[in-house]
Amino acid sequence: MAQQRTLARYLTEEQRNKGVITGDLKLLIDIVSRACQAISIAIGKGGLGGVLGEAGSDNVQGEAQKKLDVLSNDILLDANEWGGHLAAMASEEMDLPHLVPHRFPKGEYLLTFDPLDGSSNIDVNVSIGTIFSVLKCPDGADLSTPQAAEQAFLQPGTAQVAAGYAVYGPTTLLVLTVGDGVVVFTLDREQGQFILTQENVQIPADTKEFAINMSNQRFWEAPVQRYVAEMQAGKEGPLGKDYNMRWVASMVADVHRIMTRGGIFMYPLDSKLKDKGGKLRLMYEANPMALLIEQAGGAATTGRQRILDIQPGNLHQRVPVILGSKNEVDRVTGYHTA
């Protein structure tokens, strides 16, 4: 049997043979992967582990937290604060950044994450996931208080040095880029290891599958109305082919389907979200997913600009998201800018 390549071996080879990552970034990604293993185990227990249902609190987004949201956030914080590789962390579940406690050494990286994306699916046993993004902490950054530390995170998505997601589905997968393409690891629960199962992921440039929450149709802007209507028109329409639709309501699951067989995912700006700027969060949803999608040959825009070029204004900034198969993303983006 061909020798299995574990996550640790892949990261070591990226560091040693290609100089793509540092030892501290290797440690960071390994630690995040182990936190995702712990989250996967907690999710897998479901009702047996007393982790289903509401936590009885709201997050900074004003969303009711699930018990697993809070548990996943705590797992990631506890796993990452002692290693000496991080300066600070930021999460969808926390208003302000979490500084590495003074009793631990600080490192050169910043970590942002959505600890459990797709929470509305937890109690109905549908795939959910963890999304993470890694930035370098700017030299001289003011990390004296959580409020001051926010500024250090406000870097465009092009500054990310790594990004990934874990998808907790029939299998638990870790999908990762360190800027050298996209790789997929499958969790071997018996070994307690992520094993490399796919390298050089490539998203087909064309697709016949779109993902959008159709219940928002009346709120969409004209370019998205036009594009979705053209896809619904099928073979007889201007696009000359029939399309299929999927909507899991877990971004990680929808993006992973696109990573696997192509497609286009849209959470566009709509009139009920206009004052918020969109639904999905830039720093720990749109940016990491956009980097992964581009590294796999796809495209990711707001409809009007490349997501990775956005200069963040605040930690929990929301943006419209259109990502996936390049030719389709280019088409609908073109409708916005025509």
The binding track of 230-269 with respect to ligand P6P, each residue x by CB under 6 A or -, is -------------------xxx---------------x--
C-beta closer to ligand P6P: residue 76 or 280: 280
Q: Residues with Cβ < 8 Å from 336, sequence gap 6 or more?
A: 221, 223, 303, 304
67-126 binders of ligand P6P (CB under 6 A): 117-118, 120
Whether the CB-CB separation of 212 and 245 falls below 8 Å is answered with: yes
User: How many positions of this chain bind ligand P6P (CB under 6 A)?
Assistant: 10
- Among 95, 134, 93, residue whose Cα is nearest residue 112: 134
Residue closer to ligand P6P by CB (options 25, 299) is: 299
Residues 6+ apart with CB under 8 A from 125: 46
**Beta carbon nearer to ligand P6P, 85 or 279:** 279
* Least distance from ligand P6P to the Cβ atom of residue 321, Å: 8
- The CB-of-216 to ligand P6P minimum distance in angstroms stands at 7
Residue with the CB atom nearest ligand P6P in the bound state: 251
For 115, residues 6+ apart whose C-beta sits below 8 A from its C-beta are 39, 69, 72, 73, 75, 76, 91, 92, 93, 130
Contact 200, 181 (CB under 8 A): yes
**What's the per-residue H, E or C state across 89-112?**
EEECCCCCCEECCCCCCCCCEEEE
Nearest to 107 by CA among 147, 133, 134: 134
- Minimum Å distance from CB 8 to ligand P6P? 29
Write out the binding residues for ligand P6P, residues 174-233 only, by CB under 6 A. 213
The site map against ligand P6P for 268-297 (x = CB under 6 A) is -----------xx-----------------
Interface ranges with ligand P6P (CB under 6 A)? 117-118, 120, 213, 249-251, 267, 279-280
